[in-house]
């Protein structure tokens, strides 16, 4: 059954526009409270990133939960994966994250974790939506929920992160630049990496409510590249606003994206005989990663775009490693969700084990040029149902052969057809992408 409010990763939008309003979050807190109050006593964790609207939505959720008779534990600014971890280890009924991830400050959203530290199952989201469309009530005053702050949340999560790599590893002499995007990792990541012995230069660690993801972080690593080169650092690490994504920069100032990081972590698990199942990528994962993994004897399976779908395939195929080229990486042998800090630590562990630089570690994988063009459409259409487009796609695939790939898909959020072509030859890939985009535009217009 289709959901009215929940998307593939919670609810997100512009602050002040439905459903990202204080009154909706009040009702949402009450609806969540009603669902979990039915399961008996317990509390719900609430954390957020650093955007200014988090204060408003935190208070609204707390009030709604209280009205439903459920206690709240407030975490304050914490990375999304930290809230997943704390929900599990503190045995909370659920964890709530107030965040719009890599979006600008004027957006916000909400997502949930179960007591197991994973995304809520569909039936629970349907139950929440049932109460959202019901009349809000308040329990008797004696049964109202109480709220208090979890004072040691940051320390708990810092220790957890460090414990995901061997205690004997000493990174003394390693110089790292960290870009925390003025987001939720600002008071966590510098401690984690300095406490394992590295010399840390931190940027993007001065949040003011308005500068989260502003020309910084994993989606805009230009400042990190400049800082790595200026400081002559060994590498740089950038997180997004809520800390579930990571990209890195090597000592030459070259970006190491999610696909390359997954390849490095896969190598680590393979050499220690700890790799289980296939690697799960997405439809957008670079063909170069697939070929590099094949050379190692590791199969790659592709899920639809979105960490929820990656997780579903990992579970189905009993894998432990997967993710997206955006840097959303899931290491199920270490944690239950995508975690930027934990993923970066796994890469550092491989640096330590091999004695190689980040630049050397990524060299086993050659990223193929990938051209992505967006074609605007008046209404949503399925390109697979238009013969002229399919003929053009087949021609492009035959031209590329085994050294290339074509993907056309309708956007799930915008009236766009996304045309992606990748292959060895940049000129050929660009020409084919432009030709396909023109065919798509003409076919849809006709």
Do 91 and 185 lie in one domain? The reply is no
Band of residue 411 on the pLDDT scale cut at 50, 70, 90: confident
Residues near 208 by beta carbon (within 8 Å), at least 6 away in sequence: 182
Q: Write out the E strands in 234-299.
A: 235-239, 246-250, 255-256, 279-282
Q: How far apart are the first and last CA of the chain?
A: 34
The answer to the question of residue 3 being in a domain is no
Instruction: Give pLDDT, residue 413.
Output: 63
Do 138 and 97 lie in one domain? The reply is yes
Asked if pLDDT for residue 337 goes beyond 90, the answer is: yes
- DSSP per residue over 5-68, as a string? S-BTTBEEEETTSTTSSHHHHHHHHHHHHHHHHTT-S-EEEEEE-S-TTHHHHHHHHHHHHHHT
* pLDDT tens sequence across 36-77: 987 777 999 999 999 999 999 999 999 999 999 999 999 999
- Three-state secondary-structure class, residue 129: helix
Residue with tokens 């109050």: 37
Q: Which residue, 219, 33, 252, 205, is CA-closest to 132?
A: 33
CATH value at residue 348:
3.40.120.10
Do 215 and 320 lie in one domain? The reply is no
* pLDDT tens sequence across 121-150: 889 999 999 999 999 999 999 999 999 999
Do 106 and 20 lie in one domain? The reply is yes
Asked if pLDDT for residue 437 goes beyond 90, the answer is: yes
Instruction: Give pLDDT, residue 39.
Output: 75
Distance of CA 96 to the CA centre of its chain: 16
* pLDDT tens sequence across 249-277: 999 999 999 999 999 999 999 999 999 99
CA distance 386 to 283: 21
The answer to the question of residue 163 being in a domain is no
The residue from 367, 400, 419 where one domain ends is 367
Do 410 and 397 lie in one domain? The reply is yes
Do 335 and 238 lie in one domain? The reply is no
Q: Is position 101 annotated as part of the catalytic site?
A: yes
Residue pair 94/45 in contact by the 8 Å Cβ criterion = yes
The answer to the question of residue 427 being in a domain is yes
Do 134 and 223 lie in one domain? The reply is no
The more confident residue out of 410 and 339 is 339
Structure tokens at 274: 């700890």
The residue from 255, 280, 296 where one domain ends is 255
The answer to the question of residue 405 being in a domain is yes
Containing structural domain, residue 211: 172-255
Catalytic, out of 101, 114, 216, 343: 101
Average pLDDT over residues 362-373: 94
Q: Model's pTM, two decimal places?
A: 0.94
Peptide bond into 103 cis (omega under 30): no
The answer to the question of residue 274 being in a domain is yes
Domain count of the fold of the chain: 4
Instruction: Give pLDDT, residue 412.
Output: 66
Do 249 and 275 lie in one domain? The reply is no
What percentage of the chain reaches a pLDDT higher than 70?
99
* pLDDT tens sequence across 69-120: 999 999 999 999 999 999 999 999 999 999 999 999 999 999 999 999 998 9
The residue from 220, 235, 255 where one domain ends is 255
Continuous segment of H or E residues that includes residue 322: strand 321-323
The answer to the question of residue 167 being in a domain is no
């Amino acid at each position: 059954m289709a959901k009215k409010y929940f998307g593939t990763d919670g609810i997100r939008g512009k602050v002040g526009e439905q459903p990202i309003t204080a009154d909706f979050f009040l009702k949402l807190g009450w609806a969540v409270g009603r669902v979990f109050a039915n399961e008996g006593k317990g509390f719900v964790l609430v954390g957020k990133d650093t955007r200014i609207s988090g204060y408003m939505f935190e208070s609204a959720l707390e009030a709604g939960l209280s009205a439903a008779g459920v206690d709240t534990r407030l975490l304050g600014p914490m990375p999304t994966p930290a809230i997943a971890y704390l929900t599990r280890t503190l045995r909370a009924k659920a964890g709530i994250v107030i965040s719009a991830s890599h979006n600008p400050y004027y957006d916000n959203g909400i997502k949930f974790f179960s007591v197991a530290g994973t995304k809520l199952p569909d039936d629970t989201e349907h139950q929440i939506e049932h109460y959202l469309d019901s009349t809000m009530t308040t329990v008797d005053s004696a049964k109202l929920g109480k709220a208090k702050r979890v004072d040691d949340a940051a320390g708990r999560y810092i220790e957890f992160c460090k414990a995901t790599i061997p205690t004997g590893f000493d990174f003394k002499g390693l110089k790292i630049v960290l870009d925390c995007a003025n987001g939720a990792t600002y008071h966590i990541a510098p401690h984690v990496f300095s406490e394992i012995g590295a010399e840390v230069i931190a940027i993007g660690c001065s949040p003011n409510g308005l500068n989260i993801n502003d020309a910084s972080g994993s989606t805009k690593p230009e400042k990190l590249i400049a800082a790595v080169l200026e400081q002559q650092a060994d590498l740089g690490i950038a997180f997004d606003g809520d800390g579930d994504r990571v990209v890195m920069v090597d000592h030459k100032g070259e970006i190491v994206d999610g696909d390359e990081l997954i390849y490095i972590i896969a190598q680590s698990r393979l050499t220690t005989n700890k790799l289980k199942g296939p690697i799960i990528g997405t439809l957008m994962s670079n063909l170069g990663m697939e070929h590099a993994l094949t050379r190692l004897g590791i199969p790659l399976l592709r899920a639809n775009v979105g960490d929820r779908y990656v997780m579903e395939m990992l579970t189905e195929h009993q894998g432990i490693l997967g993710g997206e080229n955006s840097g959303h990486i899931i290491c199920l042998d270490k944690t239950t969700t995508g975690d930027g800090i934990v993923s970066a630590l796994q890469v550092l562990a491989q640096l330590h084990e091999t004695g190689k630089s980040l630049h050397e570690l990524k060299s086993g994988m050659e990223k193929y040029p990938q051209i992505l063009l967006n074609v605007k459409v008046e209404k949503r259409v399925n390109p697979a149902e238009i013969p002229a487009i399919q003929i053009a796609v087949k021609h492009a695939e035959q031209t590329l052969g085994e050294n290339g790939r074509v993907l056309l898909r309708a956007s799930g959020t915008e009236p766009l057809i996304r045309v992606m072509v990748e292959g060895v030859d940049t000129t050929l890939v660009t020409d084919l992408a432009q030709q396909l985009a023109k065919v798509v535009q003409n076919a849809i217009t006709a």
